[in-house]
Amino acid sequence: MSLCLFLLASAFALCVHSLDVSVVDVSDFKLLRSCGASSLYELQLQTKNSYDVAPMLVELRGSRYDMGYAYGNLLSKEIEAAYHSLMKWILGDHWYDEVLELLFADALDWQWDDYLSIELPIAYKEELIGVRDGAAAAGCPSCGNMVTRAIALSNMPGDTQDVLLLLMREFNKTDLQLGQWPHRQPTGKATNMHCSMFGVWGSRTAGQRLFSARNLDWNKDTGVNKAKLVAVYKPDDGAIAHATVGFAGLYGALAGMSAEGLTVHEANLEEDEITWNGIPFVLRLRYVMEWAKNLSEAREIWMQTNNTVGFNHMIGSGNDAAAYANNKRSQYAALAMETMYQYTAFFHDNDAREADAVYSSKPSESVVHIGFPINEAVWRTNHGYDPVIRQHYEWSQAPSSWSMQRYMFMHEAFTSYERNRIKIDVAEAINITAIVGDKGSHAYECMDNTDGTNVLSVTYDPNVETMYCAWESKSGSDWRPACCSTYVKLDMTKFFK
């Protein structure tokens, strides 16, 4: 463990940590197959890397139906394989687990049909019909359902082991009411959901650009990493071209960036005031990227749609970063959002609510400050700072909690670069991203073991339309977290044209 590791802001570090990570360019996009105006490529990486199966990129063009059809048709084998691998990981591979998988599938279909699909924009309904038809034409008639089940699964609260119990509770309640969710005692470090995100800009960065990042710390070694995918959407209905980063079959934006320089982010925030009546976050984030050119427009779109379960979100804007640099016409370049049912708390940099946040394990004990906002940066892990959000928060917010520790890893990185008069550029931004990605207790080292849960790690440089994407690598005893594998540099200018 590094000597510079700390839990509280008062423990000032004397050094800037550098995690040894690999960054590689794409030397070529190898065409695998085409469907109409859309194409699927394999990323040919410039140097030897840690991926046993190369990432793919699918470029989707045309109408909403055409894009969905191409997605299903080009990726049907990957969708099917990833789905069954994920179900096997969740449910097991005993003979009776096949029956359990059918029951689980029915429950997910019910969630989708009766709740999550209701408020979807028509455009996404058309896309998903296309996915179903395109995959069926390629020999996978059930792939359409697999995709919507994966969307429902991505929108689940809590840890994966809670999913079956939650669905069984709901299956006996066709009328979901606010406040009927069982309140769980704080558990400190969550088992599976350890996501993180940040945005930094202005005087802290080289060229006053925005750098932002998103870590998905979820369930490792499920087999979906064999279907690593960047999906580029170029609809013909006037929406903004955008890219999502994730895995085939997990449709939507686990992470993403638009041609207007908007970046989108998510982290679990376990709240007891939640609902299924809204747009699943993976599609809601796409909706923001498609129709917003800056943070003001993004916020307006956000408020026109509904929250579901508790999440922390962030939106970064290269356009706002450029305006901020130009005589500070914009006040900030990234916006954090703490959400639950019918409530969103928006946070800029240096927010007073964050600065005033304190924790006490017992009313009789002294309080400890747990919020340390700074100028020209926002970041979140898996807890919140808005007073209303904190009232409904179900996990621990103690200084020793894993969420607080990772929050402080980012605070220390920003302030260490500032103290050492280092402008954050690509290397520094990737370094911060990799440090906070869950790799077990050794945040400042990439050990040769299977610790951690980081399955996707992305750093954005939206002012130059570039992102750096890393996925979990290999499997079994050779498995390694995404933040310790290889970050693939993707210049998206050619795809956003």
Residue written as token pair 């190898």? 30
- At 483 the pLDDT is 97
| pLDDT per residue as tens digits for the range 361-407 | 877 778 999 999 999 999 999 999 999 999 999 888 999 999 999 99
Residue 106 lies in a domain: no
Predicted TM-score of the model (pTM):
0.91
Query: Which residue numbers in the chain have pLDDT < 70?
Result: 1-15, 95-97, 158-193
Residue 257 lies in a domain: no
CATH number at residue 478: 3.60.60
Residue 350 lies in a domain: yes
What gap in Å lies between CA 131 and CA 71, rounded to an integer?
6
- At 97 the pLDDT is 63
Please tell me the chain's helix, strand, coil percentages from 3-state DSSP, rounded to the nearest 5.
35, 25, 40
- At 193 the pLDDT is 67
- At 158 the pLDDT is 61
Structural domains counted in the chain: 1
- At 76 the pLDDT is 98
Q: Give the number of other Cβ atoms within 10 Å of residue 161's Cβ.
A: 11
Residue 172 lies in a domain: no
What gap in Å lies between CA 125 and CA 58, rounded to an integer?
20
Range of the domain at 189: 184-226+262-496
Q: Give the number of other Cβ atoms within 10 Å of residue 382's Cβ.
A: 27
Burial class (CB in 10 A: 0-12, 13-18, 19+), 278: buried
Of 313, 317, 304, nearest to 240 by C-alpha is: 317
Residue 36 lies in a domain: no
Residue 52 lies in a domain: no
Residue 95 lies in a domain: no
And the tokens for 210? 């925005």
- At 95 the pLDDT is 59
Residue 315 lies in a domain: yes
- At 453 the pLDDT is 95
